[in-house]
Amino acid sequence: MSSSPLAEASYEYQRKWSRARRILPRPIRRALRMFYFLTLDGVDLCLQRRKDLVPPRWLNPIGDGDFAGTGAEFLDYFIRLGGLEPSDRVLDVGCGIGRMARPLTEYLTSGTYDGFDILPAGIEWCQKNIASRYPNFRFALADIRNQEYNANGLVPAAAYRFPYGDAHFNFAFLSSVFTHMRPLDVSHYLSELSRVLAPGGHCLATFFVVNPESRRLMQAGCSSLDFSHALSACWTTNPQVPETAIGYEEQEVARLAGENGFAMQSVNYGKWCGRTEYLSYQDVVVLAKA
């Protein structure tokens, strides 16, 4: 496995931020993040160094990290691990503010892209800045309830029907989505992914996979996240707001995938728990539709 500098940076950031979560109330944390990102955006504006199709940090719900670099990193995974082709019909579940869509604008030369997310600001930015320039890219808002990101959402995740036809896509991906969802919600999303993917289609999703190695590293204090609070069929770092970060036993990921028509093609372990050999920050799981 490679040792991604971006994964290393995410690991260090999360270790520091996890300490802040334990000390500072949530409103203060959010105010500090906003001030920090506004300052960095101001510097970028003065120095005219913002890249094309990169949103301001203050508008990005995960404003930390290298926006363009992470998108390029995952495009490599889509191609190398998931077999993505330039002509594929692609679904981005939890598209955010276009971090993964950005590099795909150059790669999907004859394919199409559809993305949906629960945050209006991200969808509005993508429609204005990406879809207006790339007619094969479409973005949709989904008012799905999530305790961490959209607590007043209209539709429970376990009841949301993806707004696409059966067997429409060749390839789907979810970046840091299942890491904020409970088992019933994950199972429903996998069933919807199985419905909208054509036979032989692939899905690449990131998880926090809890197994003997990651558990040993957590117990040794090496991990950036501590999944020490047990829920039904999963683990969380925050029992008050479980969707802050949720981890799954590796066999549970395989079970959920199998029950919804997928085979686990590969599990590529991440840096989050303190591994010295890893692919990315989170664990990258590739599923194949049976």
Which domains can be identified in the chain, with CATH numbers? Answer: 5-26+67-289 (3.40.50.150)
Which band of pLDDT confidence, cut at 50, 70 and 90, is reported for residue 228?
very high
Share of the chain above pLDDT 70, in %: 89
pLDDT confidence of residue 51: 84
pLDDT digits (tens, 9 = 90+) for 88-118: 999 999 999 999 999 999 999 999 999 999 9
In DSSP notation, the chain reads ----HHHHHHHHHHHHHHHHHHHS-HHHHHHHHHHHHHHHHHHHHHHT-PPTT---GGG-TT-SS-HHHHHHHHHHHHHHTT---TT-EEEEET-TTTTTHHHHHHH-SS-EEEEEES-HHHHHHHIIIIITT-TTEEEEE--EEBTTTBTT-SEEGGGPPPSS-TT-EEEEEESSSGGG--HHHHHHHHHHHHHHEEEEEEEEEEE-EE-HHHHHHHHTT--SS---EEETTEEES-SSSGGGSEEEEHHHHHHHHHHTTEEEEEEE--STT--SS-SSSSEEEEEEE-
In this predicted structure, the answer to whether residue 124 has a pLDDT above a threshold of 90 is yes
Q: With contact defined as beta carbons under 8 Å apart, do 96 and 60 qualify? A: yes
pLDDT, residue 62, reads: 66
Query: What interhelical angle do 250-259 and 183-196 show, nearest 10?
Result: 40
Give the pLDDT band of residue 31 (cuts 50, 70, 90).
confident
* pLDDT bracket for residue 120 (50, 70, 90): very high
Residue 269 token pair: 């372990």
Least reliable range by pLDDT among 62-66, 80-84, 172-176: 62-66
pLDDT at 104: 98
pLDDT for position 132: 98
For residue 38, what pLDDT is reported? 67
CB burial readout 85-121, b (16+ within 10 A) else e:
beebbbbbbbbbbbbbbbbbbebbeebbbbbbbbbee
Instruction: Identify the pLDDT of residue 36.
Output: 63
Average pLDDT (37-54) is: 75
pLDDT digit string, tens, across residues 246-287: 999 999 999 999 999 999 999 999 999 999 999 999 999 999
**Which of 42-46, 120-124, 195-199 has the lowest average pLDDT?**
42-46
137-171 per-position pLDDT tens digit? 999 999 999 988 888 999 999 999 999 999 999 99
Give the list of residues 6+ apart from residue 25 with CB closer than 8 angstroms, or none. Answer: none
Q: What is the pLDDT of residues 230-254, one digit of tens each?
A: 999 999 999 999 999 999 999 999 9
How far is the C-alpha of 217 from the C-alpha of 219, rounded, in Å?
Answer: 5
Report how far residue 206's alpha carbon sits from residue 234's, in angstroms, rounded to the nearest whole number.
15
Mean pLDDT of the chain: 91
Of 14 and 136, the one with more pLDDT: 136
Strands 197-207 and 144-145: unpaired
